[in-house]
Structure 1
Amino acid sequence: MWHQVDTLFQKKKPFSLSLSILFLFLSLSSLSIISDFSLLLQYNRPIHMAHSDHSLTNLLCLIILIITNLSLNYILNTLLFKIRPFIHPPTSSTKREESAMKFAESVKILDQSLVSPPPLSSGEVRSSLPLTFFDMFWLNYSPVERLFFYQFPYSADHFLDFHLPIFKSALSVALSVFYPLAATIRRRQPDGHFEIATTDSDSVTLTVSEYEGAAFDFLEISGDHSRPVEKLLPLVPRLPMSPEEQPLLSVQVTLFPNYGLCLAIAVHHAACDGFSSMQFVKLWSAAVAAGLRPDGSSPQPPAPVIDRTVIPDPRNLYLQMEKGVLDERAKEKKVTSGIAGSVFATTFTLSAPEIGRLKKQMQVKAAEQGMRSFHCSSFVISLAYSWICLLKTRRITDGDGAAHVVFAVDWRRRIRPEIPANYFGNCISGCFAKWDAEELLAKDGILVACAAIGKAIDDLGDDAHESMDGLVDRIGKVVPWRPLTVSGSPKMGVYETDFGWGKPRKVEVISTRETGAVALAESRDGEGGIEIGVILPEEDLKAFAKHFAAGRDW
């Protein structure tokens, strides 16, 4: 038992020693009480019963010692899981870097393999897909990296022997449906335009790793509290980016034996948007869950529509996008956050009651000020709230004193005729809002922010081509002012991915470290709240947290 305690707190030897001494003290106290009780019995028993009483007492002492130790060990494992983040004192940046380096060195690869879709039957074919103008916009962007943390109270050997075969088989099945994800993006001949090119050897790299440090660290790294991003990076699979040929999907599972696992997925954004990638993950998770259940049952999501002809291009926007993207590539320009040094990931949550209260406040204040009605959803409230907090934290404006926000809008149901909801690919464009920073920072700044974002959504209309026309240039113009950008959506249902291990403990997007975006997702409790993932330097994060807490009194 002492070894278990020291393993849990191998970086806190004095603390674990104190706990060990406490265990010993309590155990000896129990023994002393029982011994006193046995003496009392012996004084009041006939002599011929003394020896049997003594044996019975020894047995009782042994049982009490075992129960005491096991009980205290259970209490330690249960209660201290929740308080470990508060036990560790603040450390210097140098110590944090050393800690992150040690964490990375503790992640060891156990298995790495290529998983392919099943072979096609005679006469079947997986067609290559041309990139649409929606897809082409994302060609230069870094992969989207999403981490799913699950409770997994089994050993690494158990996963390798029992779960991994099902995991691989289910991945192969999912890739047979979402076959473009196993392919690569490259230029086709003879016109040189970009396509998702399929071959008989298409595959996805699946890496299985084990964290060899204290498995207890799983609970620290998968929480909502501030964590150095350097510690999360070893959990993320690599997706090579090459101008000639770009793979579209890579997967890594990192095991924290007997505690949990992290499933990390890197997806090239030019292949599909977040709604489509989550379709894939949900199909895969359903297949794994079915393989783990005795009856083989699991709800199946609808099959995707893999047909690029449903995206019309009457303005030939593809050529415009291709030229703009290649020009940016030639200049080696990349959308970045402008953040240097160590950064930390933290998740903030707006509960459903808080969102509802803010909605009512916006409606009342807008009516009092004679403002025209505007789109005011939970998404708008959460984005406006984040915008104000970030502006108060960093106060970055353009030359005219305006602050900017850019977010994605899904066109599947906006465009006419409608595109199928389960269309696989990109079907999003940028939506821009800006407002005078001084007004945003004033007393009713949250109302101003909601109105600016809501009006931008209302003004979109149903013409996706107009929204995409000149998008590369418009993004380029606002990038110097470091606008707030958004990754994800509460409508994606990221917490609905059950691989047979239950709901994720935590879902996190960390590719936002490249762009400075906030990541939005539905709250894990499923009660209508919204999670807001933020990656910032430590001092900025402290300021953001202060403004976020104060905003509850707006």
Structure 2
Amino acid sequence: MYASLRIPHFVSSVRAEKEKEMPAPTVRLISSTMVHLRESSSSHAEGSRRRWELTAWDVAMLSTPYIQKGLLFPMPPGPLYAAIQHLKSSLSRCLLHFPFLAGRLATDLETTTFVDCSDQGVQFDVAAADGVHVSDLASAGEIPAVVNSFFPLADGTVIGFDGYSLPLLAVQVTELSDGVFVGCSFNHVMGDGESFWHFFKSWSEITSGSEIISRAPLTERPPIHHECGRIRFLVSEEHMARFSSPPLRVRFFRFSRNAIVCLKAKANRQLRPEVGDISSLQALTALMWRCITRARRLPVDQTTTCKMAIGNRTRLDPPLPAGYFGNCMEAIAVKAVVGELLAQELGWAARALHDRIKGHTNLSARKFVEEWVKRPSVYHGLFEGNGVMVGSSPRYEIYGIDFGWGSGVTVLSGAANKYDGKMSAYRGKGGIDLEVCLFPHFMSALESDGELLDMLSIV
């Protein structure tokens, strides 16, 4: 049995009581403008394209909330107004490489949804968070609700389908007392996490003085989509599902590099796969699946599900180029009976995830597209009441993003796509940072879970 009384839970409880006594900080919107593509030569290939085709993976995202991610930075040198104007100017130049992000969704009545690249603009908001300091967010495990207001289109019910009228990309620069937060709301129809951070890094490169970006977006549709036939799916609001996030606690659990090494070794030692090793993320996901299931005190005969968002770029045959821009991911699922999940060792759950991911091949990815073209639909119900889901990836080099002010302090996300059991994995500065969303009473129980705290205590 794992110990249930640990000092970290006591400390977090005291912090929570102090926060109740303090007035909640507010965010003031200072300005909201539209940024358009800077004038380019007629020879610019992407600038001349008027229509951007969507794939099955893209159209399926029409009912999915926008991606809302951003980075916290120390205060830029010099006048902040000048830094913000420079951000706006560099965004205009960056859009020459990503002109589809300044477009809007449109419908071809003979086929389906596409992107009209007529440069209707990217929303650019400037705001101020009175009384919020970098230290309030950089070192805190608990993520305060004010962070949700650091993003434009902050309503978590905004979905891909709204891109017919709303910007496909919206940016907000929020001034803190001693820092700046740069947040983006990115229509998920336009791309997955890989594409989101591709754009974000490209923007930072231009802002910091580069004349070119390190990786141009490749937007040619994969051969599989040409082979499977044209998409014929005329969508309407009837196809959509809007989800309003319930009251949740959101906090980071930061696992050191040594903790991840120990966790991975433990999972492989307990149940080594026949081919290949259990990965760090598979071992961490297995740990959190067990700990959250235990925190929920589910009946032993109930079924619980663990989902992971995995990419298809390297699984396709031939694999897609590294710069491919768009969606190319799916969510795989593993089910287990609660009693067995908790009775077995960590390696048992990690092996189940490993085998499911290993079994997702080129044939699996191709089958999804082939069947989707025959019976198109949008994603509904990616979350389950007794389950967990891990999104994002520690592969993304988010701390390599530099607008000329140095590396970001921490990554934060908005209100969109948050529900009980949702987790986002990021490459931390010393290991893996895991953002976890849970109902408050489940989070309180999780903070006292001995198996979790044993790993968090490894420095």
For residue 111 of structure 1, report the CA deviation from its aligned partner: 2.9
Structure 2 CA distance, aligned partners of 1:288 and 1:489? 25
Match of residue 238 from structure 2: 330
Q: Does 1:455 align with 2:368?
A: no
Residue 138 of structure 1: SS of its match in structure 2? Answer: helix
Match of residue 169 from structure 1: 89
Residue 521 of structure 1: SS of its match in structure 2? Answer: strand
- Checking the alignment, whether the CA contact within 8 Å between 1:129 and 1:308 is kept in structure 2 is no
Q: Name whichever structure is richer in helix by fraction.
A: 1
Alpha-carbon displacement from aligned partner over 1:278-324 (angstroms, at most 9, x marks no partner): 1111111111112xxxxxx58842111021254535344844xx47x
Q: Residue type matched to 2:402 in 1? A: D
Alpha-carbon displacement from aligned partner over 1:175-196 (angstroms, at most 9, x marks no partner): 11011111111212x3151001
Q: Does 1:284 align with 2:199?
A: no
Residue 449 of structure 1: SS of its match in structure 2? Answer: helix
Structure 1 CA distance, aligned partners of 2:151 and 2:163? 22
Q: 1:170 to 1:260 in 2, by over 3 A?
A: same
Q: 1:206 to 1:254 in 2, by over 3 A?
A: same
Greater Cα offset, 112-121 or 453-462: 112-121
Alpha-carbon displacement from aligned partner over 1:56-106 (angstroms, at most 9, x marks no partner): xxxxxxxxxxxxxxxxxxxxxxxxxxxx9998660587x67xx33xx22xx
- Checking the alignment, whether the CA contact within 8 Å between 2:29 and 2:127 is kept in structure 1 is yes
TM-score (norm 1): 0.71
Structure 2 CA distance, aligned partners of 1:203 and 1:491? 30
Q: Tell me the matched-pair count.
A: 433
Q: Does 1:306 align with 2:238?
A: no
Q: Does 1:237 align with 2:152?
A: yes
For residue 247 of structure 1, report the CA deviation from its aligned partner: 2.3
Q: CA RMSD in A?
A: 3.2
Alpha-carbon displacement from aligned partner over 1:8-48 (angstroms, at most 9, x marks no partner): xxxxxxxxxxxxxxxxxxxxxxxxxxxxxxxxxxxxxxxxx
Q: Residue type matched to 2:56 in 1? A: F
Q: 1:354 to 1:425 in 2, by over 3 A?
A: same
Match of residue 114 from structure 1: 34
Q: 1:301 to 1:482 in 2, by over 3 A?
A: farther
Please say which structure displays the higher CA radius of gyration: 1
Structure 1 CA distance, aligned partners of 2:332 and 2:222? 24
Alpha-carbon displacement from aligned partner over 1:357-381 (angstroms, at most 9, x marks no partner): 22222222225xxx64465111211
Greater Cα offset, 507-516 or 277-286: 507-516
Q: Residue type matched to 2:342 in 1? A: L
For residue 518 of structure 1, report the CA deviation from its aligned partner: 0.3
Structure 1 CA distance, aligned partners of 2:393 and 2:65? 18
Q: Does 1:432 align with 2:336?
A: no
Structure 2 CA distance, aligned partners of 1:309 and 1:550? 45
For residue 487 of structure 1, report the CA deviation from its aligned partner: 2.0
Q: 1:543 to 1:298 in 2, by over 3 A?
A: farther
2:116 is matched with which residue: 173, 197, 200?
A: 197
Q: 1:385 to 1:281 in 2, by over 3 A?
A: same
Residue 72 of structure 2: SS of its match in structure 1? Answer: strand
Structure 2 CA distance, aligned partners of 1:302 and 1:397? 50
Structure 2 CA distance, aligned partners of 1:317 and 1:408? 26
Q: 1:386 to 1:85 in 2, by over 3 A?
A: closer
TM-score (norm 2): 0.84
Q: Does 1:273 align with 2:273?
A: no
Greater Cα offset, 144-153 or 419-428: 144-153
Q: 1:256 to 1:92 in 2, by over 3 A?
A: closer
For residue 407 of structure 1, report the CA deviation from its aligned partner: 1.6
- Checking the alignment, whether the CA contact within 8 Å between 2:263 and 2:455 is kept in structure 1 is no
Q: Residue type matched to 1:522 in 2? A: R
Structure 1: gaps spanning 5 or more residues: 1-83, 291-296
Match of residue 380 from structure 1: 282
Whose RCO is larger (CA < 8 A, sep 6+)? 2
Alpha-carbon displacement from aligned partner over 1:384-428 (angstroms, at most 9, x marks no partner): 122112211225589x73211122221111101111111011111
Structure 2 CA distance, aligned partners of 1:311 and 1:112? 40
Q: 1:186 to 1:413 in 2, by over 3 A?
A: same
Structure 2 CA distance, aligned partners of 1:318 and 1:395? 44
Q: 1:538 to 1:133 in 2, by over 3 A?
A: same
1:507 is matched with which residue: 411, 416, 421?
A: 411
Match of residue 523 from structure 1: 428
Aligned residue runs from structure 1 range 374-413, under 5 A = 375-395=277-297, 401-413=302-314
- Checking the alignment, whether the CA contact within 8 Å between 1:397 and 1:481 is kept in structure 2 is no
Match of residue 347 from structure 1: 252
Q: Does 1:251 align with 2:151?
A: no
Aligned residue runs from structure 1 range 210-221, under 5 A = 210-211=128-129, 213-215=130-132, 217-221=133-137
For residue 353 of structure 1, report the CA deviation from its aligned partner: 1.6
- Checking the alignment, whether the CA contact within 8 Å between 2:36 and 2:102 is kept in structure 1 is yes
Match of residue 396 from structure 2: 492
Structure 2 CA distance, aligned partners of 1:245 and 1:307? 25
Q: 1:253 to 1:552 in 2, by over 3 A?
A: closer
Q: Residue type matched to 2:106 in 1? A: R
Structure 1 CA distance, aligned partners of 2:169 and 2:122? 6
Structure 2: gaps spanning 5 or more residues: 1-10
For residue 521 of structure 1, report the CA deviation from its aligned partner: 0.6
For residue 127 of structure 1, report the CA deviation from its aligned partner: 3.0
Q: What is the percent sequence identity of the aligned residues?
A: 21
Match of residue 17 from structure 2: 90
Structure 1 CA distance, aligned partners of 2:220 and 2:334? 32
Structure 2 CA distance, aligned partners of 1:204 and 1:500? 22
- Checking the alignment, whether the CA contact within 8 Å between 2:163 and 2:187 is kept in structure 1 is no
- Checking the alignment, whether the CA contact within 8 Å between 1:237 and 1:265 is kept in structure 2 is yes
Alpha-carbon displacement from aligned partner over 1:416-454 (angstroms, at most 9, x marks no partner): 11111110111111212122221211251x212101110
Structure 1 CA distance, aligned partners of 2:289 and 2:321? 32
- Checking the alignment, whether the CA contact within 8 Å between 2:152 and 2:185 is kept in structure 1 is yes
Structure 1 CA distance, aligned partners of 2:230 and 2:308? 20
Q: Residue type matched to 1:210 in 2? A: A
For residue 516 of structure 1, report the CA deviation from its aligned partner: 4.3
For residue 514 of structure 1, report the CA deviation from its aligned partner: 4.6
